[in-house]
Structure 1
Amino acid sequence: MTWLRGLRARLVITFVLVGGLSAVGAAGLTYYVARHNLLSGVQDRLLDDFRYRVLLLSRDVAVPATDEELALLAEDLEVGDRKVYVVRDGAVPSDARVTAELRADVLRRPALAWQRVTRDGVPYLVAGSRVMLIAGGTPSGITVYLVESLAQAASDETAVLRAAQAAAVPVVLVAVLAGLLAARGVLRPVADLDHAARRLGEGRLETRLPVRGGDELARLAGRFNETAAALERSVGELRELEARSRRFVADVSHELRTPLATATAVTDVLEAGADRLDADAGAAARLVTAEITRLTRLVDDLMEISRFDAGAAVLNLDDVDLGAAVAACLRSRGWSSAVSADLPPDVIVPLDPRRLDVIVANLVGNALRHGTPPVTVRVRATGETVAVEVADHGPGLPADVLPYVFERFYKADAARTRSEGSGLGLAIARENALLHGGDLTVAPGPGAVFTLTLRRTGPPATRPSEKHP
């Protein structure tokens, strides 16, 4: 569930960020629009009023005007805290807030020019215009400048900013809450899907998801249910086929045991008298005996495999001296002189002696038949485990063969259709190792190195599940 917790965190962060940024953006846009409209409204009102009063009052000024007439016009144009300067074209007003840039702009064009100036932290609207004669629109030689404080507009702007900030806080909180709810709504179906997929992976093929609504997640749940149903049908069919195959192998093997026992008794008689027969009849008797023996071994191996597949294989545990048991296996088959053994005493392990004998006999027999001397058998004890290692010094197994050596009837050489064994020896050996709670592995040596690993505490209470095709 680690990935789900990470996804939940990322989704929550994403929703919260999107909601918070949207809220902050909306508040910022609201402030910008309100501020723009506020300042623009104040400026437009002041400039329109100033332009109208200049046009209205300048008609009574004589051209050329005297200094007294210019001063009188300035007094008439001043309203409230507004400061007005009336000078002749090109003259510089005494107010430093009227910048050289604005004066140059006023003298370049007949229209009203303005700019915003800040002095001592107070914003001012500064405007200027040349007074034009009505007749023909020619310059009168008089320039009028306006300096108006925007302190009240700035105060109103600050109030708007504070209002926007105050409104943004609850909006962001609501956006965060909405983000959490949205993330939870999205993640709940994802969590259900993850849980269902885990159950399906554990083999609980009846798992289904509730389908709610018609969105993408609902369609995904529906598709999951369809896939799970199809998988359940397919697995059910495969299990039925596998069960039939196992029953068939077990039944055939069982039915073959009686006629094989009879045939074995007959071939024993033939083999005993083969030396008294002519050459062809004696060779035929020996061939029949060998084939009956091989078929008997194959049937016995098939019966053993069917027990593993049916879960009927059981262990008859005893505390066994591992080195002594391996030595007994070699001695009973006459391999003691052909094998180099390193078998330390007093390595006691709880195991089934018969099944250990099957494992060791398969490994050593394969090494003697297919490998090159010397063949070595070693018992090693390390901590909580013990190992039986069988190695030869032959050409070894190709790297592409190693993953398949324990498969049933697998042949490294596809051209070799017949072999002395049943083709099930290594598969049975590994099944016996797993039944003990251990394992059987193979690695390149020189030669091939097979290692049986067992636990000194004995096998687990239940055998690990093994699936076979």
Structure 2
Amino acid sequence: MRGLRARLVVVFVALAGLSALTAAGLVYKQARDLMLTRTEWSVVNEFRLRVSTLTENMQHPPGRAALQQLANGVAPAFLDATGAAVYGDSGLVVSGDAAAALTPHLRRRVAAERRLVYQRVVRDGDPYLVVGTPVLLRREGTPSGVEVYLVSSLHPEAADQEALVAAARNGVLPVLLLAVLFALVAAGGVLRPVRDLDRAARRLGAGELDTRLKVTGRDELARLVKTFNATAEALETNVSMARRFVADVSHELRTPLASILAMAEVIEEESARLDGDLPEAARLLNLEAGRLVKLVEDLMEISRFDAGAVGLVVDDVDVAQAVAASLRTRGWTSDVEVDIEPGVRVRLDPRRFDVVMANLVGNALRHGAKPVTVTSRPADDVVVIEVADKGPGVDPDLLPRVFDRFSKADAARTRSDGSGLGLAIALENARLHGGTIEVVNRPEGGALFRLTLPREPR
């Protein structure tokens, strides 16, 4: 239960369940007490009235027949009730089965307190209300020695209480189900801004720097959204300034570097006439000038992608011919084994496809080991081109960021002569066509770059 939504639902349902149980318990207790109190008062008042009526003309001391009549007289007024009467030491006179429910404690209270008393008892699992009262002489107001008792069953009330419990129990489940539903809806409403923030943060991390969220309300989440928007705006501004700086610097360096490269080439051509270490210095100067020019060109290309100033000039291209032309232009034909079925045609930008292949094959030749192979396997709506080598492969720590800008693996491979932008540019060109590039290390050794392009740009 790691999700915030699940935790909110569980807490909400737990609180709702506790509240429902508490409310049901309180309602049950109030209803039970009210029911018992009403029954007790009804029984007690009726008992008092009947005792008063039956003893009004009773002879004193009463005989056994009078006591039996008194015991029978207090009982018929009540459903499932039994009466009992006793006078002094004459013994208990019972109508029905009341003796078992009369407790010694109650009889002592009736004798000692000289007033009507009652209590609830349980016999054989069934509840009863037991009422007892002494009979007072009317003129003297003194005890006559006669005691009258009534045992009334509370089974109907117990059944009503069980019905209350069942109703409360059956009512809790729908309440919990409603609580779950309400909790899901409420949690969804609470977490919707959080999910929006999560998606926006992912888009921002993926490079969509113009990502913003609509601010609604004035609560903590609204302030969080405002903070996110401000952060995204500041990030977009800073990145835009950095990109403009790189583009401006690259543009300003392009012309003088072209001149430096031209002069370096002239110096290298004339280096044979120089003495000592000067020829090697001239060669290194020309090499480094070329690398610097290539770096500036790659920076300018990346800047155009960042600015959205790139587009496709699409043509119907034979994949096998396009790959062969790219290798032939760079003199790599003898270094690369090509296995591509001829006649596979794709709609793409030939110049940008050439850039992708040059970067992938060039990367394999620089960092891998021969043989470098280029194979293709067309599918229904895509073409897959794989470039593989027999080198040490890509460092596993580098695999997730091998297409990042200025990403290099000098420790895992031989020294890089590239700018660190080639694979990033290749991936941008593939995405421009609606495709992608993936890299894996082969079990038999070496890296495999897989270029997937749709037959029609998307």
TM-score normalised by structure 2 residue count = 0.72
- Corresponding position of 1:459: 457
Match of 1:232 among 223, 229, 234: 229
Distance 1:179 1:317 in 2: 58
Q: Is the 8 A contact 1:89 1:130 kept in 2?
A: no
Once the 2 structures are TM-superposed, how far is the Cα of residue 400 of structure 1 from its aligned partner? Answer: 1.0
- Corresponding position of 2:98: 98
Q: Is the 8 A contact 1:405 1:426 kept in 2?
A: yes
* Gap change, CA 1:33 and 1:308, over 3 Å in 2: same
The one-letter code of the counterpart of 2:65 is A
Distance 1:246 1:34 in 2: 81
Once the 2 structures are TM-superposed, how far is the Cα of residue 281 of structure 1 from its aligned partner? Answer: 2.6
User: Is 1:363 matched with 2:396?
Assistant: no
Once the 2 structures are TM-superposed, how far is the Cα of residue 369 of structure 1 from its aligned partner? Answer: 1.9
User: Is 1:334 matched with 2:331?
Assistant: yes
Distance 1:92 1:300 in 2: 121
Percent identity (aligned): 38
* Gap change, CA 1:266 and 1:23, over 3 Å in 2: closer
Distance 1:441 1:433 in 2: 11
* Gap change, CA 1:429 and 1:208, over 3 Å in 2: same
Q: Is the 8 A contact 2:395 2:412 kept in 1?
A: no
User: Is 1:207 matched with 2:214?
Assistant: yes
Alignment deviations for residues 188-244 of structure 1 (CA, whole Å, 9 cap, x no partner): 963774686478556553621223xxxxxxxxx2x2233233332322222222112
Q: Is the 8 A contact 1:436 1:454 kept in 2?
A: yes
* Gap change, CA 1:432 and 1:25, over 3 Å in 2: same
* Gap change, CA 1:244 and 1:23, over 3 Å in 2: closer
User: Is 1:34 matched with 2:34?
Assistant: yes
Distance 2:120 2:258 in 1: 119
- Corresponding position of 1:71: 65
Q: Is the 8 A contact 1:74 1:86 kept in 2?
A: no
Bigger mean CA offset, 285-294 vs 315-324: 285-294
Alignment deviations for residues 19-63 of structure 1 (CA, whole Å, 9 cap, x no partner): 8777765654443122211222234446667888999999932xx
TM-score normalised by structure 1 residue count = 0.71
Match of 1:441 among 410, 416, 438: 438
Match of 2:284 among 274, 282, 287: 287
- Corresponding position of 2:190: 190
User: Is 1:351 matched with 2:358?
Assistant: no
Aligned Cα root-mean-square deviation (Å): 5.1
Alignment deviations for residues 385-422 of structure 1 (CA, whole Å, 9 cap, x no partner): 11110111111112111111111111223699973111
- Corresponding position of 2:265: 268
Q: Is the 8 A contact 1:321 1:349 kept in 2?
A: yes
2:397 counterpart SS class:
coil
* Gap change, CA 1:9 and 1:381, over 3 Å in 2: same
1:380 counterpart SS class:
strand
1:35 counterpart SS class:
helix
Once the 2 structures are TM-superposed, how far is the Cα of residue 320 of structure 1 from its aligned partner? Answer: 0.4
Q: Is the 8 A contact 1:297 1:422 kept in 2?
A: yes
1:337 counterpart SS class:
helix
Q: Is the 8 A contact 1:114 1:127 kept in 2?
A: no
Once the 2 structures are TM-superposed, how far is the Cα of residue 7 of structure 1 from its aligned partner? Answer: 11
- Corresponding position of 1:450: 449
The one-letter code of the counterpart of 1:35 is M
Matches within 5 A, 1:46-57: none
Distance 2:120 2:264 in 1: 123
* Gap change, CA 1:431 and 1:92, over 3 Å in 2: same
* Gap change, CA 1:94 and 1:84, over 3 Å in 2: closer
Matches within 5 A, 1:416-431: 419-431=416-428
* Gap change, CA 1:57 and 1:356, over 3 Å in 2: same
User: Is 1:396 matched with 2:397?
Assistant: no
Distance 1:399 1:199 in 2: 28
* Gap change, CA 1:447 and 1:77, over 3 Å in 2: closer
Q: How many residues align?
A: 420
Distance 1:390 1:69 in 2: 122
* Gap change, CA 1:260 and 1:417, over 3 Å in 2: farther
Q: Is the 8 A contact 1:106 1:130 kept in 2?
A: no
The one-letter code of the counterpart of 1:210 is G
Match of 2:251 among 235, 251, 254: 254
Once the 2 structures are TM-superposed, how far is the Cα of residue 280 of structure 1 from its aligned partner? Answer: 2.5
- Corresponding position of 1:64: none
The one-letter code of the counterpart of 1:454 is L
Distance 2:88 2:330 in 1: 133
* Gap change, CA 1:114 and 1:427, over 3 Å in 2: closer
Distance 1:407 1:179 in 2: 49
* Structure 2: runs of 5 or more not aligned: 77-82, 111-117, 137-141, 204-209
2:277 counterpart SS class:
helix
2:407 counterpart SS class:
coil
* Gap change, CA 1:10 and 1:315, over 3 Å in 2: same
2:396 counterpart SS class:
coil
* Gap change, CA 1:16 and 1:357, over 3 Å in 2: same
